[in-house]
Structure 1
Amino acid sequence: MNRRTFLSTALAVGSSGTLVAAPKEKVKIVSSLPRTGSAKGQTDGIVNAIKLAIADFEKVLPFEVTYLDRDDATPRTGTWATEKEEGIAEEAVEDKDVMAVIGPYNSGAARISAPILNRAGLVQVTPAATMPGLTKSGPASDADEPDKYRPGKKITFCRVCPQDGSQGPLSADFAVEELKIKSVYVIDDKQLYGLGIATAFKSRCEELKVKVLGHESVAPTQRDFQPLVKKIKAAAPDLVYFGGTTISGGAAIAKTMHAEEVNCPFLAPDACYALDFVNGVGVETLDAMKCFVTVGGIDPARLKGAGADFVKRYKEKYKTDPEPYAVYGYEAAAVVLEAFRAVGKKDREAVRKAVVSTKDFEKGVLGKWSFDADGDTTLQPLTVARIEKGKFRAVKVMGTK
């Protein structure tokens, strides 16, 4: 018996001579999410799901996992802040017990943290940041994307949610196939997420020979949308598409459309798939409109097998239905925790390699999927929901074969 084996055995034997479990080595997972502000409802779900995943995996892990729930938002703005996101990433890098980061929620925040974590070789899995340029080059990306997020020349940024490169076009497909539109008016909020998804939606509409009657960019701080909505009413589109969030104009534009009697459907992306959007527009107003919101993935109520079991257990534990991002929160944690189990040692590089090389993953709740060579999930379905009686009712799943 070598000295290391002897010492390990000795440490596992109590004073009475009976065997006792050796203490597990400690590792940490950090999440960086906006825990204050308009996205708190979604991030509550993500955090709850991460905790549930850790509880599910802890018996098979060689480590004791500590989870650090960090807030990258400020109370003053209610949204993520560069200094907060940067600080969380740097803290994670410096703490050698941290083996993975889950987050962020926002694509703009990911642009800040991704290169910091990449230099350190610390793997990052986002449940929500959907900007295509974070992982792939393309028409909607900057010339130096995604290379500028990979200064260490390795893949460290992965996402379990579909990116906007699929959400925008699939939203356009839905509008043409299900709503039978021939014309559209597009609005974006000038932000990375909103502009990117609106551009992708518009491009697909043009491919489908839908007439784009106008494309307006609004400031995320704008509050009066009456002049814009009157302009839209005069154009008489078959649909209004908004690329942005609840607080950057989504709720206010929808509400103003109803007030100005613009009766065409309103379609918005996943950033508006939240209770704050419903409250911002108003339940009665939404019931009087045709308002649709998309979200990457499959509506939790439609999940089968392990997914359905997750929904049941989540409701039992947290006394509420999980939102779609809770599902992605669980999946992000599950792929990290499975890497911990497979690697079996406290080694950032080994964990990174295990995560980014994930193939045919089935230990989560979304069924079988893989990360592609860029860190994107191979699952790219899109759920379209109509808001009725204050609830998101799934009406169509796009992008499935």
Structure 2
Amino acid sequence: MKMKMHKVLPISAAAMLFAAMATGAAADEVVKIGHVAPLTGQIAHLGKDNENGARLAVEEINAKGLTINGQKIKLELDAQDDAADPRQATQVAQKLVDDKVVAVVGHLNSGTSIPASKIYSDAGIVQISPSATNPQYTLQGFKTTYRVVATDAQQGPALAQYAADKLKLKKVAIVDDATAYGQGLANEFEKKAKSLGMQVLSHDATNDKATDFRAILTKIKGENPDAIMYGGMDATGGPFAKQAKQLGLRAKILAGDGVCTDQLASLAGEATDNVVCSEAGRSLQAMGKAGEEFQAKFQKRFGVPIQIYAPFTYDAVYIIVDAMKRANSTDPAKILAAMPSTDYKGVIGETTFDSHGDLKHGVITLYDYKSGKKTPLTEVSM
């Protein structure tokens, strides 16, 4: 019996190796693309939305087949949770570097994207944020930082301009959540509002974990503003708007893309219809047929509607693969070298970058809510 086993095993092993080679399994090179967003905490629904967009792109590319420099490539999404916490963001960024990802889509927040960016820069790894809008993110001098949305230096002024020109508002109070995103957006709004002759009655700060805004809102009620601009995310912006209505404030609530989600209706209730908000990109409706097709694919794959930036993470993965193809390499250094000449037409439109890694042609979309449903008002090209 022992003699037979010695004879059979080498033949069996050879057959297994031949079968693996015949199916091409042994020929695939696994290439990791990182993705980081908050998958736990108050805005986990936004983080999962971003991750799902990136995952859909990876699955599509693998299904179609990808070959780089004669080598069959299988993409793998290395998805990590930064919990919207700057400290955890840097730890996760280092983990992705150690995992040898070739590029990163993320992070979601400005307050996490900025500290993580130095780690990716030191490693020479491309970072494309789909949703970080603080201008500072791309102004640090790093060659690795890119984004596929407009910045708060565009979003804040667009929101203020709309408030002055279309809503005819004269007096505004400002509240921000003291994060890099919320504070940065509020400051940009305030500068533009003042330059347009609007009276800024006050500027208060809360935090991104707050749930009770009645003290700030009671003070603001005494100031009698036409509007309150809130810089923060929907998890706090929703309760903020709801409590403002409960206290009898007539003021419009103005907010940026962090608040401007489909989830807002469940967070703010009837107060949603008093909100005007902005997104640092084109609406799904304005994306036309590409937007409709993406929405249908996303809904079919994940069984939930798009929150906000899933189309942007989806395109970000394709932009990384486009750089791989043009570089004919999966080497992070060569992918990075190919990024400045990006000219990619995807779901969100045409993506080209300036010398900082910002979009050459940013777009801001303004929305309001009708019976809890987010509806585009106008698009501003920057």
Aligning the two structures, in what range does the TM-score lie when normalised by the shorter sequence?
A: 0.7 to 0.9
Partner Cα separation in structure 2 for residue 274 and residue 37 of structure 1? 16
1:88 aligns with 2:74: no
1:102 maps to 105
1:277 aligns with 2:264: yes
1:377 aligns with 2:381: no
Partner Cα separation in structure 1 for residue 264 and residue 294 of structure 2? 25
Partner Cα separation in structure 1 for residue 262 and residue 348 of structure 2? 23
Partner Cα separation in structure 2 for residue 66 and residue 219 of structure 1? 36
1:216 maps to 204
Q: Identity of aligned pairs, percent?
A: 28
More helix by percentage: 2
Where structure 2 has 5 or more consecutive residues not aligned to the other structure, the ranges are: 1-16
1:244 aligns with 2:248: no
Partner Cα separation in structure 1 for residue 125 and residue 76 of structure 2? 16
Deviations along 1:297-325, one digit per CA (max 9) or x if unpaired, are 12213312433322232233333332330
The one of 253, 262, 276 equivalent to 1:266 is: 253
More strand by percentage: 2
Q: Following TM superposition, by how much is the alpha carbon of 1:378 offset from its aligned partner in structure 2, in angstroms? A: 2.0
Deviations along 1:213-250, one digit per CA (max 9) or x if unpaired, are 22122244444322322222222222111111234x42
CA RMSD, Structure 1 to Structure 2 (Å): 2.2
- Check whether the contact 2:263–2:307 (CA below 8 A) recurs between aligned residues: no
1:392 maps to 374
Partner Cα separation in structure 2 for residue 307 and residue 221 of structure 1? 33
- Check whether the contact 1:54–1:337 (CA below 8 A) recurs between aligned residues: no
How many residues are treated as equivalent by the alignment? 358
Q: Which moved more, 1:155-164 or 1:208-217?
A: 208-217
Partner Cα separation in structure 2 for residue 85 and residue 218 of structure 1? 22
Q: Following TM superposition, by how much is the alpha carbon of 1:87 offset from its aligned partner in structure 2, in angstroms? A: 2.2
1:286 aligns with 2:268: no
Q: Following TM superposition, by how much is the alpha carbon of 1:392 offset from its aligned partner in structure 2, in angstroms? A: 1.2
For residues 1-40 of structure 1, the aligned pairs below 5 Å read: 21=24, 23-40=27-44
Q: Following TM superposition, by how much is the alpha carbon of 1:374 offset from its aligned partner in structure 2, in angstroms? A: 0.2
Partner Cα separation in structure 2 for residue 56 and residue 83 of structure 1? 33
SS of 2:366's equivalent in the other structure is: strand
Partner Cα separation in structure 2 for residue 83 and residue 193 of structure 1? 16
1:346 maps to 330
Larger Rg: 2
Q: Following TM superposition, by how much is the alpha carbon of 1:355 offset from its aligned partner in structure 2, in angstroms? A: 2.1
SS of 1:129's equivalent in the other structure is: coil
SS of 1:297's equivalent in the other structure is: coil
Q: Following TM superposition, by how much is the alpha carbon of 1:166 offset from its aligned partner in structure 2, in angstroms? A: 0.7
SS of 1:361's equivalent in the other structure is: strand
- Check whether the contact 2:264–2:272 (CA below 8 A) recurs between aligned residues: no
1:46 maps to 50
Q: Following TM superposition, by how much is the alpha carbon of 1:65 offset from its aligned partner in structure 2, in angstroms? A: 0.9
- For the structure 1 residues 26 and 281, does the alpha-carbon distance in structure 2 shift closer, same or farther, using more than 3 Å as the test? same
Q: Which moved more, 1:294-303 or 1:164-173?
A: 294-303
1:231 maps to 219
AA in 1 matched with 2:364: L
The one of 289, 310, 314 equivalent to 1:330 is: 314
Partner Cα separation in structure 1 for residue 330 and residue 323 of structure 2? 11
Partner Cα separation in structure 2 for residue 272 and residue 199 of structure 1? 16
2:304 maps to 320
SS of 2:344's equivalent in the other structure is: coil
Which 4+ residue blocks in structure 1 deviate beyond 4 angstroms? 18-22
The one of 63, 73, 81 equivalent to 1:71 is: 81
- Check whether the contact 1:45–1:329 (CA below 8 A) recurs between aligned residues: no
Partner Cα separation in structure 2 for residue 199 and residue 252 of structure 1? 22
- Check whether the contact 2:364–2:380 (CA below 8 A) recurs between aligned residues: yes
- Check whether the contact 2:262–2:308 (CA below 8 A) recurs between aligned residues: no
1:368 maps to 350
Q: Following TM superposition, by how much is the alpha carbon of 1:184 offset from its aligned partner in structure 2, in angstroms? A: 1.1
- For the structure 1 residues 383 and 69, does the alpha-carbon distance in structure 2 shift closer, same or farther, using more than 3 Å as the test? same
1:56 maps to 60
Partner Cα separation in structure 1 for residue 57 and residue 284 of structure 2? 16
AA in 1 matched with 2:277: V
- For the structure 1 residues 264 and 24, does the alpha-carbon distance in structure 2 shift closer, same or farther, using more than 3 Å as the test? same
AA in 1 matched with 2:76: T
The one of 306, 329, 345 equivalent to 2:290 is: 306
Partner Cα separation in structure 2 for residue 222 and residue 65 of structure 1? 39
- Check whether the contact 2:58–2:76 (CA below 8 A) recurs between aligned residues: no
